[in-house]
Amino acid sequence: MGLESVGDLAINAILRKLEAEDIARVACASKRFRSFASDDTLWINLCFNELALTQPIDHLGNPFPSFKECYQAWRKAFGMYPWFLVKRVKRCWDRIKTWLTNNFPEAEATLCKGATEADIQMLENLLKVELPLPTRILYRFNNGQEIVKANLEASTFGSCLGLIGGYSFYNHLVNVYLLPVHQIIRETQQIWRHLNFLRTSKFVLVASSSTLRRKLFFLNCSNGQLYVGTNKLRSEKDIIPCVPQDLISLHQESNGEEQQDAMLLWLEEHGRRLEHGFIKLCENEYGRSINLFPEESPFCSTAVTNGVKVRSSALVIPEFIDPQDDSEKYLFAYSIRLSLEPQGCLINGMSFDSCQLHWRRWIIRANDDVVSDVNGEAVIGQYPLLHPGGQEFVYQSCTPLPTPSGSIEGSFTFIPGRNI
């Protein structure tokens, strides 16, 4: 029995199981098959399964009259890249942008439309580098953020709309955004004039804080690693890798392992933490921003005692790290969140509708050595009063350590009712 005698439903079912390239080959067989291959329901299915598209639009949001033309436009726009990598980068951006749309639309509004191949080629020609393929595709989808900074001469803060987010403790505020191509070129050239080791090793600046205290992220175009700068940038010893090097693969491996650089891995993990609520928005006098102090397990420790709930998490603060300082080489910031469970404060079977912090004890260790033992009243000069189901009391502090790892343990003493 020839293929021409196969029924319409059977042919349609077969075509639905094929890849786009195979559908195109089938279309060359006869006019009848070409007609089946042009059925837009096939391309609706392909656009949804491969690109999660529910409307026929390209990567810049431009509409098309059919899903077939839409799919063809996607393949033409990214024809110079591995298709599996294009799909992976789109999933990464979709996750981040969906979260921004639902939670932080004012930050989403700062995302720029994707860079063109000409934009990226200009960057590579001017800086004499070759961006890793995953980073090129990331920028083809979204060309960083256009952030309008505050007047830093009259203020100690800038925009808090950074896609990467940040943290604050005492008078230190950091908020990191993704640089657009034109700013990568300009700021990388400026930094290269003062730090020649970044030029010779093919480092480009890809993300930066918009606040007065600068936090800088550099992409090494040679090995695909992303680095964050420390307090004093003097040599490659003063930058810290953001991703384990053995996860980075800049070439398609024979075993099928996908290409991935640190930029893609970094943004994928960031999107995952946003989507699952590990990191959330916070609001302070500067506005809303993404807070990098984790608020959920496994990155946040939680304890409930007598109805009082304590959540704690910590971050290393790279912009204060000084590799040359043996006694206070690292700085860690920590966030403490205090709240009272709906049932109130429970003491010896009695329930109280409020309690107030009176005392706290902290033992801070660098590895196994005690470096600080804090024992006294209040926290940051305050005695928070907690009510059932009321707003959390949140504060941040920091501690220097001579080692890259350490621990904090301790306790809070609360008085039932109101003490002060």
Nearest Cα neighbor of 212 from 319, 332, 330 is 319
Could you state, in order of their start, the residue ranges of all structural domains in the chain? Answer: 3-78, 85-250+258-276, 293-416
CATH architecture of 293-416: Sandwich (2.60)
Query: Which superfamily is assigned to 85-250+258-276 in CATH?
Result: SMI1/KNR4-like (3.40.1580.10)
Distance in angstroms (rounded) separating the CA atoms of residues 267 and 272: 8
Same fold, 3-78 and 293-416: no
Counting other chains too, the contacts that 114-119 makes at CB distance below 8 Å and 24 or more residues apart are 114/59, 114/60, 114/139, 114/140, 114/141, 114/142, 114/143, 115/139, 115/140, 115/143, 115/180, 115/181, 116/140, 117/80, 119/143, 119/181
CATH architecture of 3-78: Up-down Bundle (1.20)
Q: Express each pLDDT in 8-52 by its tens digit.
A: 666 666 667 777 777 777 767 677 767 666 788 888 999 999 999
Structure tokens at 44: 């609706």
Along the 420 residues of the chain, how does pLDDT read in single tens digits? Answer: 455 666 666 666 666 777 777 777 776 767 776 766 678 888 899 999 999 999 999 999 999 999 999 999 999 999 999 999 999 999 999 999 999 999 999 999 999 999 999 999 999 999 999 999 999 999 999 999 998 654 344 333 467 899 999 999 988 999 999 999 999 999 999 999 999 999 999 999 999 998 767 899 999 999 999 999 999 888 999 999 999 999 999 986 544 458 999 999 999 999 999 999 999 999 877 789 999 999 999 999 999 999 999 999 999 999 999 988 877 889 999 999 999 999 999 998 899 999 999 999 999 999 889 999 999 999 999 999 999 989 999 999 999 999 999 999 999 999 998 766
Half-sphere exposure (CA, 13 Å, Cβ side) for 412? 28
